[in-house]
Amino acid sequence: MLHTLAIANEAEIDYDLRRVNEIAKRVPYLSKIAPSSAYSMHDVHEAGGVSAIIRELCDIEGAIHPDRPTVTGKTLRENVAEAKIHNEEVIHPKENPYSPVGGLSILYGNIAPEGSVIKVGGVDPSVQVFKGKAICFDSHDEAVAAIDNHTVQKGHVVVIRYEGPKGGPGMPEMLAPTSSIVGRGLGKDVALITDGRFSGATRGIAVGHISPEAAAGGPLGLVNDGDEIIIDLPNRTLNLQVSEEELATRAQERPKFRSKVKKGWLARYTALVTSANTGGIMRVPDEEE
């Protein structure tokens, strides 16, 4: 998501994150790979590979543009014309997808007014709506320590903030806390939300890329321990059950963000970088006007 948005910015394309949800409605979920299943990329390769997946998508109206030319000199459809699915347990045919919609969702709400990202494909299908109490941390390391020492319990929503592009600085990966949560058997009982990022190895109820990030004044920085948070996957929402008046009061009392880095290149990066919804690009003030 970060790379797509950053590339769109360089190409001067105004790409709204909501378009990702529209694409997900058109593209079914055909192959689920570890850690979201027991199948590896080698299994996918033996089952027909990415070419077989693309071949299935070519026959789904609106899923992809199969007749675009590629670097081979042939169209995408021509490139995969001979591809076949050899194992329908690993790569599902279009008639029997894991899900009729794609594995990524963009969630909006009063915690993420400019969007956030969840890999729905990595969430247990039994979890559609998660309600929990916030337990807040201002760094990745504090959160990992609290998960590992059992401070984090069932029903918690782990809030990790000040780890976005500006706060990190650099938007570090949040794989360790999600791995610890799932490793303790809490993948369906504990959620995690953050302005940091995730990799493809993430699973569980993990919402990242929350924008605007806390360091940029985003409402993630206004969450208090014990606040109720609702993650609604079918409706693609992420909301804090706190009144607008209370959030306004908290905003007035919030201390000003101070960067971890005071000099050098990273200090300049911190001053110029944007939140994840624009790809974490650097933008000088004149560009914003």
CA dist 209 and 257 (Å) reads 18
CA dist 167 and 176 (Å) reads 18
Neighbours of 260 (CB within 10 A): 13
CA dist 126 and 121 (Å) reads 12
Which amino acid is it at 130? F
Known catalytic residue at 199: yes
- Residue listed under structure tokens 């009144």: 243
Q: Which of 36, 116, 139, 199 is catalytic?
A: 199
b/e for 101-137, b at 16 or more Cβ within 10 A?
Answer: bbbbbbbbbbbbebbbbbbbbbbeeebeebebebbbb
Instruction: Please name every residue paired with 228 in a beta bridge, in sequence order, or none if there are none.
Output: 133
Structure tokens at 237: 């929402």
Closest by CA position to 58, among listed 41, 79, 44, 73:
79
Point out the residues that are catalytic.
199
